[in-house]
Amino acid sequence: MRIQNKVIVITGGASGLGLATAHFMVEEKGARVAIFDMNSEAGEKAVKDLGADNAMFVQTDVSNDESVQNAVNAVMAKFGAIHVCINCAGIANGFKVLGKEGKAAPLAKFAQVVAVNLVGLFNVMSKSAEQMAKNEPEAGEERGVVINISSGAAYEGAIGQCAYSATKAGVIGLNLPAARELGAIGVRVNAIAPGLFMTPMAAQIDEKIMASLVAQVEAPKRLGDMREFAHCCSFIIENAYVNGETIRLDGATRLRAK
Ligand SMILES: NC(=O)c1ccc[n+]([C@@H]2O[C@H](COP(=O)([O-])OP(=O)(O)OC[C@H]3O[C@@H](n4cnc5c(N)ncnc54)[C@H](O)[C@@H]3O)[C@@H](O)[C@H]2O)c1
């Protein structure tokens, strides 16, 4: 699918990988973006930076049915279509199965990560796909593209990442059945499993810890650049034959247990 003038929903687009992708898609590809995020201050700043003709922000909780429906309605009202949905919103919230003194972790902690990373992702994917079905097919075959963000933790989760890893593996699990189903309406579904990226949060990591993380990256010996992530999204959108796939974007990193 050509990206120019297309409407791209980016959840979690007020920060990190999602924000970098919003900039890339508007500034280098001529797309219009709709950012769905909880953080209204950062979301509104992003729209100011990107220009109100090219970008919109809707304060959204991806885990909430009504909130996402309102956000989708707002995009349809402003831009009239949704062509691409990039699901970046996610929380890491690490905790052990057994906490202090061997006490079982509160169930609510696990459920919250599932609610945002997995239920929330399905919520936005399904409601976006409903709108994509209305698009005129490009080149007679494509109405939309969904990109779901997983993580290297889906494969090699560290201690404390049971909930996070389970949700990110869930993202990979839903990829193929969603691609098989939505292929019938001309919508492709793919996932990206990033390794370690140099986000503003990562930039604050203490030098020693950063050195130990970089040591676990195979090659090139550095964290991923957020533009490399955005570029991977644009590759998936532009290449009509990439479907039902999960791309590990991680410099061959396989992180240790801790
Ligand atoms: N940064 C990395 O190195 C890395 C590695 C692997 C996977 N990932 C995944 O990539 C995605 C983006 O990561 P990031 O580092 O850019 O994160 P980030 O924390 O910078 O951004 C995540 C955004 O999601 C938003 N968000 C959180 N809960 C939400 C909710 N309920 N509804 C709407 N928005 C919500 C936050 O407000 C934030 O703006 C996440 O899914 C993360 O798990 C990141």
pLDDT tens-digit readout, 203-224 = 888 888 889 889 999 999 999 9
The CA distance from 93 to 161, in Å, is 8
Question: Is any ligand 1 atom within 6 A of the Cβ of residue 15?
Answer: yes
Packing angle, helices 65-79 and 120-132, rounded to 10? 30
Averaged pLDDT of the chain = 97
How far, in Å, from the CA of 18 to the mean position of ligand 1? 7
To the query of whether residue 155 is one of the catalytic residues in this protein, the response is: no
Q: Specify whether the CB–CB gap between 244 and 176 falls below 8 A.
A: yes
pLDDT of 115 > 90? The answer is yes
Nearest CA to ligand 1 atom 1: 197
Q: Is the peptide bond before 220 cis (omega within 30 degrees of 0)?
A: yes
pLDDT of amino acid 90:
97
Q: Which of 17, 201, 255 to mutate to test the pocket of ligand 1 (most atoms within 8 A of CB)?
A: 17
Q: What's the pLDDT band for 43 if we cut at 50, 70, 90?
A: very high
pLDDT of 13 > 90? The answer is yes
pLDDT of amino acid 252:
97
The single residue of 24, 36, 110, 164 carrying the catalytic annotation is 164
Question: Is any ligand 1 atom within 6 A of the Cβ of residue 149?
Answer: yes
Question: Is any ligand 1 atom within 6 A of the Cβ of residue 18?
Answer: yes
- Beta strands 187-194 and 55-59 are unpaired
Question: Is any ligand 1 atom within 6 A of the Cβ of residue 91?
Answer: yes
pLDDT of amino acid 225:
97
- Of 150, 175, 174, 139, residue with least CA distance to 2: 139
Nearest CA to ligand 1 atom 38: 12
Nearest CA to ligand 1 atom 42: 90
Q: What's the pLDDT band for 171 if we cut at 50, 70, 90?
A: very high
In this structure, what DSSP letter does residue 154 have? G
Question: Is any ligand 1 atom within 6 A of the Cβ of residue 14?
Answer: yes
Q: What's the pLDDT band for 129 if we cut at 50, 70, 90?
A: very high
Topology of 7-198+225-249 in CATH?
A: Rossmann fold (3.40.50)
pLDDT of 91 > 90? The answer is yes
pLDDT of amino acid 216:
93
∠ Cα 68 37 165 (to 5°): 90
Provide the token pair at 220.
């090139």
- Beta strands 7-11 and 246-249 are unpaired
Provide the token pair at 33.
């973006």
Averaged pLDDT, 176-185: 98
CA of 69: how far to CAs of 127, 185, 258, in Å? 7, 21, 39
Provide the token pair at 103.
């006490």
Residues paired with residue 85 on neighbouring β-strands, in sequence order: 9, 146
pLDDT of 154 > 90? The answer is yes
The CA distance from 182 to 143, in Å, is 10
Q: Which of 63, 66, 88, 226 to mutate to test the pocket of ligand 1 (most atoms within 8 A of CB)?
A: 88
Q: In what order do the strands lie in the sheet with 84-87?
A: 55-59, 32-37, 7-11, 84-87, 144-149, 187-194, 246-249
Q: What is the pLDDT of residues 16-25, one digit of tens each?
A: 999 999 999 9
**Three-state DSSP state, 56:** strand
The CA distance from 30 to 42, in Å, is 22
Question: Is any ligand 1 atom within 6 A of the Cβ of residue 88?
Answer: yes
